[in-house]
Amino acid sequence: MAPTKKAADDYTPVDINIPDNYVEHTLKTTKPLPPFEWKNWRNEFQWLSFTILTGTPIVGLIGAYYTRLRWETLAFSVFYYFVTGLGITAGYHRLWAHRSYNASLPLQYFLAMAGAGAVEGSIKWWSRGHRAHHRYTDTELDPYDANKGFFYSHVGWMLVKPRRRPGVADISDLSKNPVVRWQHKHYISLILLCSFVIPTVIPWLLWNDARGGYVYAGVLRLCFVHHSTFCVNSLAHWLGETPFDDKHTPRDHFATALVTIGEGYHNFHHQFPMDYRNAIKWYQYDPTKWFIWACKKVGLASHLKTFPENEVRKGQLTMQLKKLKETQERLAWPNDSNDLPVISWESFQEQAQKRPLILISGFIHDVSSFIDEHPGGPHLLVKMIGKDATTAFFGGVYDHSNAAHNLLAMKRVGVLHGGMPHGLDDKVVPPSQRLKIARYTELSSPYNSSAMSDGEGLLG
Ligand SMILES: [Zn+2]
Ligand SMILES: [Zn+2]
């Protein structure tokens, strides 16, 4: 059967014709709604989600006050929390929003129903927002922009009308998916069935606790799933470390992982969104990853995507170097030869009459503050004043330690004219500077190399 016109339109990527400067262009040409005002509150709230998000905890707490909690119902509620939570994390998020693995039809139907039980909108709606969140992270076009505060990114963005539409994000792949379309079409029936009917009926049939099932496994469990998954947008952009990149707000933290069924390694996730894992170490808490992996083992999932390990480690190394560079910049370093005066041999001799100057590997050092502290005794320094002590320093008399060489370099006051050896060697560069971290702008460009200029080569 030929697809209808509407369906055919759905298959055309919506971002295929956007301008190259889409973000800037959109921010410039579209006006946001004026800032939220309490006096307009009736028009400002998104009443459907407002009612669901405030009604659930109220009904749940009142229900819990009047309903005894049986341990069977408690155990089932926790279990059902994980089922519906996985519907979001393994289904909505990692399968549909990010396509990080392939799922067989039975698994897709299971995840679509489990996800409906979490009442967070249909797969289509949710994935569209989430793809915009990744594409426009921390900008006005990110529907849950973390820069607007913890409360806003957690739940505020669903309570009040958004000031702007989320940036464009294509979901034409999802529009073609029969399970996604089925869920979208029957969404209301599915949320009633999966969020309230199933968790009421199972405890009723198995241990005759329909009311407990409704209150604990239905309503209160829903409240927990909501705030658990909302933490991915709030807590995961606020608490923890940035081991892969610190350009944006996403962070890694065990506590976030614990409350989000493993979505807490969010710094990794924003860097490598197509990876089916959030946690890359086996001991880190990521039950969603374990679930997907187990599904693969029993043949329900395949093509689990992982980012090349080499590239993951580059990200980590970059951040480690950045931290080390900060440490490096907090320390004092010797004067560079370009910043020191060049002194002739005669002038060196003359000035050494007035203060204790010693020449070592082309640098003139003023050792006046060190003579009495020299571990080998002051006499060994005094006898070298006005002389070249390079050989004596580097093993002739004593093969000095790295620390001694580092300290010596701090006493540089000049460079002997013609006294610098060609190039750099271990005698000129103190040990602490041999692995110095330099920004690329401080290095000579590889593109200036003459090896690149001899004609038209083939790219390797
Ligand atoms: Zn995020
Ligand atoms: Zn994501």
User: What is the C-alpha separation between 138 and 160, in angstroms, rounded?
Assistant: 19
Q: 322 alpha carbon to ligand 2 midpoint, in Å?
A: 26
pLDDT at residue 338, rounded to an integer? 84
Q: Residue for token digits 């229900």?
A: 63
Distance of CA 316 to the CA centre of its chain: 10
All residue ranges of the chain with pLDDT < 70 are 1-9, 421-424, 444-457, 460
Ligand 1 center–CA 175 separation, angstroms: 23
- % of the chain residues with pLDDT over 70: 94
- Helix (H) / strand (E) containing 260: none
- Separation of alpha carbons 162 and 140, rounded Å: 10
**CA separation, residue 210 to residues 200, 214, 218, 221, 381 (Å):** 5, 6, 10, 15, 92
- Tokens representing 72 are 């069977």
pLDDT of amino acid 119: 97
**What pTM was estimated for this model as a whole?**
0.87
The Å distance, Cα 128 to ligand 1 centre, comes to: 14
Separation of 418 CA from ligand 2 center, angstroms? 61
Compute the distance from residue 209 Cα to the ligand 2 centre, in Å: 37
Distance (angstroms) between ligand 2 centre and the Cα of 38 equals 32
Is 3.30.465.10 the CATH classification of the domain at 337-433?
no
Compute φ and ψ for 244, nearest 5 degrees: -115, -30
Give pLDDT, residue 439. 87
Q: Which helix (H) or strand (E) holds 419?
A: none
Q: Residue 396's pLDDT is what?
A: 83
Enumerate residues 6+ apart whose C-beta is below 8 A from 385. 352, 356, 357, 358
Q: Which of 184, 86, 174 is nearest to 131 (CA)?
A: 174
* Ligand 1 centroid – CA 241 distance (Å): 14
Q: How far apart, in whole angstroms, are the C-alpha atoms of residue 323 and residue 331?
A: 13
Q: What is the 250 CA–ligand 1 centroid distance (Å)?
A: 6
CA quadruple 273, 246, 242, 158: dihedral sign? negative
Pick the ligand that lies closest to the CA of residue 236. Answer: 1
Ligand 2 centroid distance, CA of 383 (Å)? 69
Q: Which ligand is nearest to the CA of 250?
A: 1
Amino acid at 257: A
Q: Which helix (H) or strand (E) holds 415?
A: strand 412-416
Give yes or no for a contact between 254 and 284, defined as CB atoms under 8 angstroms apart.
Answer: yes
| Ramachandran quadrant class, 331 (left: phi over 0; alpha: psi -120 to 50; beta: rest) | beta
Closest listed ligand to the CA of 273: 2
**Given CA atoms 235, 238, 241, 245 in this order, what sign does their dihedral have?**
positive
Tell me which residue of 92, 145, 119 sits closest to 224, measured CA to CA: 119
Q: How far is the CA of 273 from the centre of ligand 2 (A)?
A: 6
pLDDT given for residue 456 in this prediction: 63
Q: What is the DSSP string of 7-63?
A: HHHHTS-TTTT--TTHHHHHHHHSPPPPPP-GGGHHHHB-HHHHHHHHHHHHHHHHH
Q: Which ligand is nearest to the CA of 145?
A: 1
Rounded to the nearest angstrom, the distance between the alpha carbon of 113 and the centre of ligand 2 is: 20
| Residues contacting residue 220 through CB under 8 Å, at least 6 positions apart | 60, 61, 63, 64, 77
| Nearest ligand to residue 233 Cα | 1
Contacts of residue 428, defined as CB under 8 A and 6 or more positions apart, other chains included, come to 361, 362, 363, 420, 421
Residue 458: per-residue pLDDT: 73
Report the separation in Å between the CA atom of 145 and the middle of ligand 1, taken as the mean of its atom positions.
9
What does the mean pLDDT of the chain come to? 92
pLDDT at 378: 93
Ligand nearest to the CA of 276: 2
- Residue 320: both structure tokens together: 């480690």
Cα 284 to ligand 2 centre (Å): 18
Round to the nearest angstrom and report the end-to-end CA distance of the chain: 48
Q: Domain limits of the chain?
A: 40-317, 337-433
Which pLDDT belongs to residue 101? 98
Residue given tokens 């979208």 in the structure block: 184
| pLDDT at residue 1, rounded to an integer | 46
- Are 319 and 243 spatial neighbours (Cβ–Cβ below 8 Å)? yes
Pair 299, 325: CB distance under 8 Å: no
Q: Tell me the ligand closest to 144's alpha carbon.
A: 1
Given a contact cutoff of 8 angstroms between Cβ atoms, the answer to whether 379 and 392 are in contact is no
Distances (CA, A) of 207 to 75, 122, 443, 453: 12, 32, 72, 81
Q: Considering only CA atoms, give the Rg of the chain.
A: 33
pLDDT in tens, 331-361: 999 988 888 999 999 999 999 999 999 999 9
* CA 417 / ligand 1 centre spacing (Å): 59
Instruction: Give pLDDT, residue 314.
Output: 95
Per-residue pLDDT tens over the stretch 39-80: 888 899 999 999 999 999 999 999 999 999 999 999 999 999
For residue 389, give the 3-state DSSP assignment.
coil
- Two tokens, residue 125: 């709606």
Quote the CA–CA distance of 128 and 134 in Å, as a whole number: 10
* Cα–ligand 2 centroid distance for 256 (angstroms): 14
Closest CA to 389 of 398, 377, 378, 376: 398
- Position 151 scores a pLDDT of 97
